[in-house]
Chain A
Amino acid sequence: MNESPPTVFLVDDDPAVRDAVGLLLRAGGLTVEGFANAAEFLATDAVRRPGCLVLDVRMPEMSGLDLQKKLRNDGCPMPIIFMTGHGDVPMAIRAMKAGALDFIEKPFSGELLLTRVYEALTIDARDRCRQAQREAAATRLSRLSPREREVLDRVADGQYNKTIAAELDISISTVEIHRRRAMEKLEATSIADLIRTLALANDQAAR
């Protein structure tokens, strides 16, 4: 499902900065898309694509900090690197507390920005991978029948087949059948595998 390559989404109202930073990032081998303001960025499907945000703090209409807040509220985990024209400490603190990856001052060295951007893309890829695993686990879990789920929950709790049979008022062989089918459906090869899948699925459910 992740067809598009990881992209750096660059939002800055200054066309020169946008152009220059874009050139720099492209020279670093990255795919870059530039936006003049937050609204322009939000109007596209960029939010759902893999990548990271390089954001100017001070922009008309919606500032970088406002956009960060909105993305977090919408549950978008995309890593954000802020660029600022003046070192405003309280603003930097706010941004970092809200989960920004970094807050770098203009003018900055290209290396620093590139390092941070690579870092951000790695984090995003990892996040997306985990998310994919969580989603897969949840999908697999949803294939189980209610009875299979009941049996599986007890297996995960470490109960013996005998106990499960007594509790659910079924024969031990029935328990064994449910258990084998559930393992097959979850594509789990061991109990540890099963528990990991369950945990991922629970994480997804909690989101």
Chain B
Amino acid sequence: MSKPVAEPPDSGESRWPIRPLHLTLIGLLYLVFSLLWLLGGDRMLILWAGGATPPLLVEMLKDLLVVSAGGILLYLLLRVYGNVVRLRINQVQDLRLARIEEQARRTRDALENRVRERTAELLAINQTLEQQVAARTQVEIALSDSEERFRQLAEHIREVFWVYGIAEERLLYVSPAYEEIWGRPVQSFHERPLDWIEAVHTDDRQRVYAAHLARQQLGRLDEEYRIVRPDGAIRWIRDRGFPVRDEAGYIYRIAGLAEDITAHRLAEDQLRRQQVELAQMARLRLAVELASNLAHELNQPLAAIVAYTQAGLALLRQDQADPRALTGALDAVVHQGLRAGEIIRHLRDLVQKHPDARTALDLNALLRAVVHYAQLELRQANVVLNLELADNLPPVLGDDIQIQLAALYLARNAIEAMQDAGEPRRLTIRTTLQDSGMALVTLADTGHGFSTDTADRLFQPFFSTKPGGMGLGLSVSRSIIESQGGELWATPNPDCGVSFHFILPIYGRRHE
């Protein structure tokens, strides 16, 4: 006995869960009533069948009424109660539903809130991300700008810029100037990392390779070497490297610059050559001077010979020849002829003994000879000479002609410096033996001296404070003295004028 139950469409539970009970109760009531009726049924049936006596019928009706009324009442009660219960149930259910709905709503709201929050969060994150992306882009732009600048710099400087990676054991970057200077493609580095060493001149290769190894240890490099270009041309390179450290302070890269110093080198070589030429020129000048001196020496006996002979001839022609006078003249001619021969022999000895070689020299004697050459100039300039030559000065090692030349230049320079200076004009030439095993020569004048400005340039070629001066004397003198293992320098005197000093190694002592 089941009754169709209206199922709430939206709920799995029975909307009326009490109904079967309710029907069962009513059924039971009817069963009880039926049993009661059966117990008194014959009366009722009689009543029912044959018009029962009214009292009984009334009785029966009354019972039935009572029972029905009771049943109805019960029914009503039950109904009401059922409704009430149902209402209650409904209410409860509604409440529950409402509660569920509420809960659901709340959940939904919460969800929605969370979604909203999350969305906002996401939006914020997105925004941040966007900002970050924007910033990043800017950084990238800046980076690429700086990279561009670096590239422009690296690729347009005449020097080769390179970066060497210690861990990578190869050059990470080489600027394009490499191609121009080395005459080899930069690409070759990636294919053959040792390409560069092959370009180094064979004479320099070992040294450069050693420097390259040292570079990896020290992070530093400063080498000058030659390279041979594929076309066979030789270029001089100055290669310098500097360590690049990571945050921990370890050298992980070496950055460097290699520049083409060929022109510089050539200029230096040319200057050196010029100096040598100048020294040769100066040597020639001294030789001419010596020759002129020699001519004077030779001309004396020659003049005497000619004069004696002509006097003799004159006497003979005049027919008053005193044989004694003639004999005397002829003796004198012989004597003067021998004297001339002596001069020439002496010269030959001098030339053969010192054919441009460094020998033991008596510096004091040499300076006296120089003073002799400068005698005329000293007199003309009205200069008083002080010779303060050290006693027992051991011989020095040097080429006498060269040193004479330098000393003569210095003496002349001193005399010229005093030409316009006031009196007294004094040139002091001093020799001293130094503890260092060098002989020191000082030429002190009382001239104008020099300003600190010109002090640096004194020894530069073509620098002169004298009108008409070539500016070569001091630079040539310095190169001469240095070629003899000495040094030449100048100091201002405390009162007035300048002192030029040069040192020369003592003969027979070891010098570096």
Contacts and interface: CB of A to CB of B under 8 A. Distances in A.
A28 B315 CA distance: 8
B304 A16 contact: yes
The CB with the most chain B CB atoms within 10 A, among A20, A21, A109, is that of A20
Contact of B329 (A23, A58, A106): A23
Contact of A107 (B305, B313, B315, B325): B305
Interface stretch (B72-80, B131-139, B219-227, B295-303): B295-303
Contacts of A110: 306-307, 310-311, 313-314
A86 B307 contact: no
Contact of B308 (A14, A20, A63, A85): A20
A108 B299 CA distance: 10
Given A85-B299, A86-B296, A110-B306, A16 B332 contact: yes
Given A20-B311, A63-B376, A107 B302 contact: yes
Interface residues of A, number: 27
A88 B292 CA distance: 9
Nearest to A62: B379
Contacts of A23: 307-308, 311, 325, 329
A106 B300 contact: yes
Contacts, number: 89
B305 A20 contact: yes
Interface string A82-124: 0101101000000000000000011111110100000000000
Interface in A134-178: none
Interface in B415-448: none
B325 to A, nearest CB: 8
B336 interface: yes
Given A27-B311, A58-B296, A85-B295, A107 B332 contact: no
B314 A85 contact: no
A24 B316 CA distance: 12
Interface string A1-34: 0000000000000101101110110111000000
Q: List the 10 shortest-distance A-B pairs measured between CB atoms, nearest first.
A: A110-B310, A85-B296, A20-B307, A106-B303, A27-B314, A23-B311, A24-B311, A20-B304, A16-B304, A107-B303
Given A23-B307, A107-B307, 12 more contacts: A16-B339, A20-B303, A20-B305, A20-B306, A20-B308, A23-B329, A24-B310, A28-B314, A58-B376, A66-B379, A107-B299, A110-B310
